[in-house]
Structure 1
């Protein structure tokens, strides 16, 4: 893949089972191995309190920046294959998981399909996503709102705990 071809994309990573730091780092490695995807950089790793279902272990979260020549759908499918290959089994919504990979932004595209919504519909409400995304791309404009990631951080009402544990 040429250095300048493709779309800049941001992928959210999270885990709270079976060594979550290691699970997140393994997911980053696997994302970099996807054909048609060039790994650019990863945010710091953050320990975050669970959202939704509170009675579970803290999560480790990060955001990865990649350049991809894959379509949004192809990239989503590749992320789903990584999750399955790492042992993800979909159970309770917001429940514990070995790995969770979310396609947050695909360039400046807005996609509204039954099983593919970009930008990620909860991105602007979640501190555990915005903090690492802001670390990498504070200047990026959310294509649905026309506001920078930094601007979304300033408006954020989510007060949940997000603390850096491994410098990116």
Structure 2
């Protein structure tokens, strides 16, 4: 049996039916990740490029036999299947899938940096991550998700009663 790696993924959507986009992305991810838990849906303000609709954000965790590079490739394929187009950095998108943490791996490559390089400053990631895995450790800082969350503002983040 292939080695199973624990991974934490962030998903976001702000174009089209955000709830449906996240549901479809999770269905596709199930083919490559045995998803164990999914956070609540949080509605958040955009970051970076502000002139765009609000996002729905979730975090999930599970197990995969894929390498980090293979998982990234799968995530980008799913984004494209669901209509993501190349656009401006932090621009609007039907779905975005980021690998937050892959085991205890610290990895830096052109388009694959683990753990996610901006995870520690993004409440829209840390709030749902802390909900499902408050004690998961960021391999780079050695801090738990709960500890990282205490260092950021959670203004503009609203938990939504939305079923995926």
The normalised TM-score by structure 2 is: 0.94
In the TM superposition, residue 33 of structure 1 has moved relative to its aligned partner by: 1.9
Q: Which of 109, 113, 124 is the aligned partner of 2:105?
A: 109
> Helix, strand or coil: the match of 2:56?
strand
In the TM superposition, residue 167 of structure 1 has moved relative to its aligned partner by: 6.2
In the TM superposition, residue 159 of structure 1 has moved relative to its aligned partner by: 4.4
Q: Which of 95, 100, 107 is the aligned partner of 1:99?
A: 95
Q: Which of 127, 149, 152 is the aligned partner of 1:153?
A: 149
In the aligned structure 1, how far is the partner of 2:25 from the partner of 2:161?
A: 16
2:16 paired with 1:21: no
> Helix, strand or coil: the match of 1:112?
strand
In the aligned structure 1, how far is the partner of 2:27 from the partner of 2:11?
A: 12
Count of paired positions = 163
In the TM superposition, residue 21 of structure 1 has moved relative to its aligned partner by: 1.2
Superposed CA RMSD in Å reads: 1.5
Moved over 4 A (4+): none
Q: Which of 54, 64, 73 is the aligned partner of 1:58?
A: 54
Q: Could you list the runs of 5+ residues in structure 1 that have no partner in the other structure?
A: none
What CA deviation, in whole Å up to 9, does each residue of 1:37-65 have, x standing for no partner? Answer: 21211110110011111111100000111
In the aligned structure 2, how far is the partner of 1:8 from the partner of 1:159?
A: 27
Q: Could you list the runs of 5+ residues in structure 2 that have no partner in the other structure?
A: none
